[in-house]
Structure 1
Amino acid sequence: MLVADDWPVWRALRLAALADAPHAFGSSLADWQGPGDTQRRWRARLETVAVNIVADLDDRPAGMVSGDRTGVDTVELTSLWVAPAARGRGVGELLVAAVVEWAERAGADKAVLRVYPSNLHAILLYQRSGFTRTSVAEAVPGDDRPEWVMQRPLAGRRIPRGDQ
């Protein structure tokens, strides 16, 4: 799990993700470059989202994912991306599993995510990981593409806060 001081690693992966798969994210590369590309902003992103995880493959960052509470019993999985060289090697499954484990340890009853219907590889990954489609989310202002909402029930094992 990353902390604010890990912002250069998160920055490099996030910019790579936005360049590689602009169709998969609500943000654009331009949103995070130029005046928006500041240490303060990257650190704040890691401080305000509950969990941010990077997967390494062959001693190199190979993917990323985040998870955050969206309610008392719900966690949302966001920002999943796997580097092209790491695809098909189980990195996506490990990243999803890491967020699910964190969510269960935090006592959540369900995990949700949003995915564009055109992102078939991501949908198949989420289905293999136990997520099912539940609804269609409204399009975000400025982006007319509606997203699917997918959900997975969790065990919700509550562990004392000091152990999370």
Structure 2
Amino acid sequence: MSIVIRPAALADWRDLKAVRLAALLDVPTAFGASHASAAAFTDADWQHRAASTPQRTFLLAYVDGQPAGLAAQVVDAKGESSLQAMWVQREYRGTDIAARLVDAVKQLCLAGGHGRLVLDVSQDNLRAAAFYQKQGFVFLPQWEALDSHPHIQVQKMEWLAA
């Protein structure tokens, strides 16, 4: 099995679209966006998302040349770097793909001059929370409603560079 993790480029917009929509169908309550909202994006919207900027980079995981996962590093208006849109196809869960995606996001964070990376996770998502803890993230006493499903509370986690 050949695994490649790399930033999305404009030419990858169809792969980004396919993986993101698959993720939103697979675990709709794990993301701040809904499948319906993402499915409504135009091809131009997806092309814009695939092009990396200092504020947002999508990373794609390819297994034997086929898209199999994604993660994004996003810097908000306050300069906070976050890990978002993390997802790996079911058949590849338990492999090192997720860890490699997180490592790549950490590297983008550091390259951008950020020594702190945050993410939000639902406490109901025990597998994800345990995975992030293994990746060096710790829970913070900060909660908020998930944008796409306001009845779900997510807790902030952070990773600090050594």
* TM value normalised by structure 1: 0.85
Within 5 Å, give how 1:9-24 maps onto structure 2. 9-24=15-30
Structure 2: distance between partners of 1:152 and 1:57: 27
SS at match of 2:128: helix
Q: Which has the higher strand share?
A: 2
**Map of 1:107 onto structure 2:** 113
Which letter does structure 2 place at the counterpart of 1:145?
I
Matched, 1:150 2:157: yes
Quote how far apart the aligned CAs of 1:67 are.
0.2
Matched, 1:94 2:100: yes
Q: Which of 6, 9, 14 pairs up with 1:8?
A: 14
Unpaired stretches in structure 2, ≥5 consecutive residues: 1-6
SS at match of 2:131: helix
Structure 2: distance between partners of 1:84 and 1:140: 23
Quote how far apart the aligned CAs of 1:97 are.
0.4
Structure 2: distance between partners of 1:78 and 1:140: 13
Matched, 1:39 2:46: no
Deviations 1:103-136 (A, max 9, x none): 1121102000011111111111110110000123
Quote how far apart the aligned CAs of 1:91 are.
0.8
Quote how far apart the aligned CAs of 1:140 are.
4.4
Which letter does structure 2 place at the counterpart of 1:87?
R
Equivalent pairs, count: 152
Structure 2: distance between partners of 1:60 and 1:89: 16
Matched, 1:131 2:129: no
Which letter does structure 1 place at the counterpart of 2:139?
R
Within 5 Å, give how 1:115-126 maps onto structure 2. 115-126=121-132
With over 3 angstroms needed to count, the CA separation of the structure-2 counterparts of 1:84 and 1:37, relative to structure 1, is: same
* TM value normalised by structure 2: 0.86
Q: Where has structure 1 moved over 4 Å in runs of 4 or more?
A: none
CA contact (8 A) 1:114 1:149 kept: yes
Within 5 Å, give how 1:61-80 maps onto structure 2. 61-70=67-76, 71-72=78-79, 74-80=80-86
Deviations 1:18-54 (A, max 9, x none): 1111121122211122xx1310121222346521111
Identity rate, percent: 32
CA contact (8 A) 2:146 2:153 kept: yes
